[in-house]
Amino acid sequence: MTIKRILTAPDPFLKQISNPVDSVTKEIQILMDDMLETMYDAPGIGLAAVQIGVPLRVIVIDIAWRNEDGKKEPMYFVNPEIISTVETLSTYEEGCLSVPDQYAEIDRPEKCKVKYLDYDGNEQIMSAEGMLATCIQHEMDHLEGILFIDHLSNLKKNIIVKKLIKSKKSSSKERIVA
Ligand code: NI
């Protein structure tokens, strides 16, 4: 497994719509292994393939591993589709590995039902709620080129984007000095 570089906003690559996967081949499984390794290293609880520069409809999630016991429970979603949501919203403070060190409260449907192919290419349907439902919807946004900051007002979003550009500049300066 290989740890990949995670693209960060405002990289235009993150704005594209990801393509469906034809079938879950060995290459796609290797991609998912690399994504998971990259996500654990980052560290985060979800990652979409586009975030490591592969515009395919593939997501990995593990909302369990950052609990106290640290037990890993990876989930793999290929070609995920949300087939239903509820009207009730829940609010979580969200962050994103492509929007480093920035957090904001985002409202999303508190439950969703998602259809997808699993690691072995089998079709699955999952009913998710709570943090998992939010995480699935956050990752699925990535497949449409949407970041959590796109759910904020333009004013709030612009403040965050300016901070990101500033921190990118200062980190590249550090690299030159080193
Ligand atoms: Ni994200």
Per-residue model confidence as pLDDT tens for the chain (178 residues): 899 999 999 999 999 999 999 999 999 999 999 999 999 999 999 999 999 999 999 999 999 998 889 899 999 999 999 999 999 999 999 999 999 999 999 999 999 999 999 999 999 999 999 999 999 999 999 999 999 999 999 999 999 999 999 988 887 765 556 6
Strand segments (E) across the chain: 46-48, 58-61, 75-85, 89-96, 99-109, 111-117, 123-129
Residue 120 CA to ligand 1 center (angstroms) comes to 24
Tell me the pTM.
0.94
Please confirm, yes or no, whether 139 is among the known catalytic residues: yes
Residue 87 CA to ligand 1 center (angstroms) comes to 23
pLDDT (0 to 100) of residue 178: 60
Which of 74, 66, 46 lies closest to 138 in space, CA to CA? Answer: 46
pLDDT (0 to 100) of residue 177: 61
Residue 144 half-sphere exposure toward CB, CA atoms < 13 A? 13
Q: How far apart are CA 100 and CA 125, in angstroms?
A: 31
Which residue in 27, 139, 144, 174 is the catalytic one? 139
pLDDT (0 to 100) of residue 176: 59
- Rg for the chain (alpha carbons), in Å? 16
Q: How far apart are CA 90 and CA 110, in angstroms?
A: 5
Question: What domains sit in the chain, N to C, each tagged with a CATH number?
Answer: 12-170 (3.90.45.10)
3-class DSSP state of 129: strand
